[in-house]
A and B are shown apart, each in its own frame.
Chain A
């Protein structure tokens, strides 16, 4: 079955950088776009970024544009999120998720990983 395992979360000071990884298994990774979605403590879901199956297309939420970079290594079945200039408001659980269909703009995302907590605090 599909499995997505995030790693790399932790406590980081404001203004610093942090990288997240998501190891994927149970499906043909190169076939599907992949997403990052975050959820601040006690708050709703916020979509962060998506990368197409071959990495040629990337879209990022305005709230993180210019600071966060999504990438993937299809040879390693791994998705990444590089976060720079972190702010307190970036504190959240970060989920990676597989596109449900082979078209980025349709189908939603399914399934999701268990998430990794990023805390930005001095």
Chain B
């Protein structure tokens, strides 16, 4: 099955830029979605189809996808951005298509 690999943790100072990577074989050929999950809450979609933002998501959240790596970028990081972030793709390469989630990255705001 398709595997998505994320760094376990990323630390960033307020006001700086956080970059969270999601690695997968030829992931650039797939549509990547990103979720933010704060403790005790359900996940929230922050970027879909590589770089689109749902309504209500700040422009500080952006995404890119090429080759074997997709990236979620959070600009001007705020304390409220501290959360777990997950990437996701639809894997149609096997006999059993379905969504796959990345391993998750904990973002800590210093």
Contact = CB atoms under 8 A, between A and B. Distances in A.
Given A44-B103, A113-B42, A62 B96 contact: yes
B45 A45 contact: no
**Contact-residue bracket for chain B:** 20 to 34
Given A104-B90, A107-B48, A45 B98 contact: no
A106 interface: yes
A107 B45 CA distance: 9
B12 to A, nearest CB: 21
B98 A108 contact: no
Q: List 6 tightest A-B contacts by C-beta distance, closest first.
A: A108-B33, A110-B45, A47-B99, A112-B42, A105-B90, A44-B104
Contacts of A44: 84, 86, 101-104
A46 interface: yes
A11 interface: no
B31 A106 contact: yes
A71 to B, nearest CB: 17
Given A60-B98, A100-B54, A115-B42, A107 B35 contact: no
B92 A107 contact: no
A52 to B, nearest CB: 12
Interface string A13-52: 0000000000000000000000101000000111101100
A27 B41 CA distance: 22
Nearest to B6: A44
A35 B99 contact: yes
A8 interface: no
A62 B1 contact: yes
A107 B86 CA distance: 14
A45 B43 contact: yes
B44 interface: yes
B51 interface: no
A108 B101 contact: no
Contacts of B45: 100, 108-111
Nearest to B96: A62
Interface in B60-105: 84, 86, 88, 90, 92, 96-104
B92 A105 contact: yes
